[in-house]
Structure formats: structure tokens, C-alpha cells
Amino acid sequence: MRQRQFTLTERQASELLNAYYSCQDVKAKTRYQAVRLYGLGYTVKQIMEICGCSQPSLMEWCRAYRHDGVSGLIDHRRGGNRALLTPSQSERLQTLLDGYTPRQLLGQDVWADGQFWTVADLAKLIAREYKVSYKSDTSYRELLDKCDFSYQRPARQYRSRSEAKVIEFEEALEKQLLDIAQDAPDTVILAEDEATLYLQATTKAVWYWRGETPIIKSDPGRACVHFYGTLDLRTGQEIVMQTSTMNAETTASYLEKLLLAHPIQHLLLFWDRAPWHRGPAVQAILDANPRLQCCFLPTAAPDLNPQEHVWKAAREAVSHNHVVAKLDTLADRFETYLKSTKFPCSLLENHGYDRICMMFR
């Protein structure tokens, strides 16, 4: 049973009780009472029933009390913040946020390189344009929300990526799928990629008690195993191979594995431009098996490869926050998950492949 760390002394409990009886603000009285009951050992459920508050609010009040004492439970807000900007000013603010970056409006005095809006930069803009200053960051966040902004983690994109090449690939893919649907509708369409699994655990956010940090005991080494993985875009099934090395010879062995899994069908394989996807060993397999056609994805465009989403799902299910002590055990669990799970893919559907196939039947 987890022991509660927040407790009150007799003096603190008496101070909160006196504040409760001397206060005329109903909301403040609720805060005094809830914190006092929590510090005296009442359960969260009991306090929620007595005070009519939520658990997040109770924990927030307790943190405020531990930091600032009784004064931390007083509502210092003056009110009226939401009305500090007139409707016309709010409309103009949205126009500014839609049309300009922080750097364009504020110059060098911005966070990082001024590419994305932050609460601090918005506060500077509003103070400069309207001589208005909100008391709470929440008010600025509400303004951003009203201006159709949301708090998001930026997606990474390689500098070497060429959008022109991506568009060219998409157009070529449309034509290629049309040709397959017309001439070889039984072709198995695959997406291949490699991943490296480390014994050292990767971490992912979890729900945990406020004010405490969850701990994952992780191996300090960098022991790892590589995986070749291929997704069948129609069935969602995965073909996997573990390996200690990734080179042209290993790739050639894996291609043989794919050919054995599909002994008579034509295969169309999408993969990236990794150096181990080339070389005499790989070319020998392709020359000996003309029914296997490889199609290279554009440089620095992993988002176009459905296999990337398979790796992400497997890591979330198996390797994030893991406590496995042996690499081979972890690798076997990773492989088992890949082989026993179907991974739906929308690439063919997005290009209307099945509909095209029906047209030629």
C-alpha cells in the first residue's frame, strides 16, 4: 500500500480550520476544507463526496498549500481577463497569428528561432499591441485556442527531403498500381524496412502520482539486435527476420525468405535507399527472380513507408518502458508480436487500388 506523504501538523490543521470559519468565499472555504481533510488522512473518495471537488483539483490545492501555505489557497485573480480585449482586437489578433511568425512580428526577442508561437511570445505581442497583460498563462492559452491553435509536438523532417521528389513518386505510384491492377492483379505488394532493438529501454509517458517520478530500471549497455520486416499491404501480415548485421548479403538472404513465403506470385517491394539494399548479392537475387520487383522510396521520406508504422506499434507494445533483463528474450517478444499481429494499411485504399482492380475484372 502506497503511504501518503502529505500530512498536517496540529497547528496547520487548526490554521486551515480557522481560515475556513473566517472566510466568506464559498470556493475558498471548499479549498481550505478539502486540504485539511486530505492532510488529516481522509481518503480522496471521501473528500470528493464531502467537498464536491474533483481529484485533480484536490491535488492542485494540496500542491499550492505545500508551496505557499494558506495564502496559496486564496484566489488572487481579479476577474475580467477574458474581456480585456475587445471583439475587434481579438479578430485582429487572430489575423496576426494566422499571417506571421513570432520573429516577423517581434524581431529577435522571441523564444528559440521564433518559428512557432509560445505563451511568452503571445504575451509580448499583446502587451505591445494592446497594452494588456493577463495575470494567468491560462488566459493566453485560451486566446491561442480561440485562434484555432492547439498544443502539439512538432513532427521531424529530414533536411534532405525533396517535396518535388515525393510528388513525383506519388504520381509514379498511381501509374504503377494502375498497371498492376490491369496486367497482374494477383501481385503481392509489400513494404520493407529495418529496425534496431536495444536492450536499453526507451521510455514513454505513463500516468503516475502527481509530484513523483516513475522509474524504469534500464540496462546501461548498448546491446542490440536488428530486424528485417516486411508488411503485406493487403493482408496486414508481417514477415520478420532477426539478424546481428545489416549488409547486402543479409539483405539477399532476407529476399530469399520473402520469395519462399510467396513461391509463385509476382512481388512488388517498396523499400528505402539504404546501402545494404544494393550490391552484388542483392542484384544476383533480383536477376535470378524477375518476378520480384523492387521500388525505391524517395530519399528522407520514411512517412511514405507503411512498415515504419509497424515498428512504432511494436515498440509501443513491447520495448517502451520494458524491464526485460535479457536481449534475446526481448527480441523474441518483439518478433512474436510482429508475427501474431495484423497491421492494417490504408496506402492501397487511399489510391483506390481495389476499386481499380474491380474495373479490370
* pTM of the shown model: 0.63
- Percent of the chain scoring above 70 in pLDDT: 95
Could you give the C-alpha distances from 95 to 82, 88, 110, in angstroms and in order? Answer: 19, 11, 19
pLDDT over 70 (residue 4): no
What pLDDT is stored for residue 344 in this prediction? Answer: 93
Q: Please, is 177 exposed, middle or buried when counting C-beta atoms within 10 Å of its C-beta (0-12, 13-18, 19+)?
A: buried
Work out the mean pLDDT of the chain and round it to a whole number: 88
d(CA 142, CA 203): 31
The amino acid at 44: V
Count of CB atoms within 10 A of residue 129's CB? 14
Instruction: Collect all residues with Cβ–Cβ distance below 8 Å to 94 and sequence separation of at least 6.
Output: 146, 147, 148
Q: What is the pLDDT of residues 276-298, one digit of tens each?
A: 999 999 999 999 999 999 999 99
246 within 8 A of 194, measured Cβ to Cβ:
yes
Cα torsion through 287, 289, 292, 295, rounded to 10: -10
Rounded mean pLDDT of 313-337? 94
pLDDT over 80 (residue 148): yes
66 within 8 A of 84, measured Cβ to Cβ:
no
What pLDDT is stored for residue 115 in this prediction? Answer: 84
**Angle, CA of 323, 326 and 328, to the nearest 5°:** 120
Rounded mean pLDDT of 259-265? 96
Interaxial angle between packed helices 87-99 and 137-146, expressed in degrees from 0 to 180 and rounded to the nearest 10 = 80
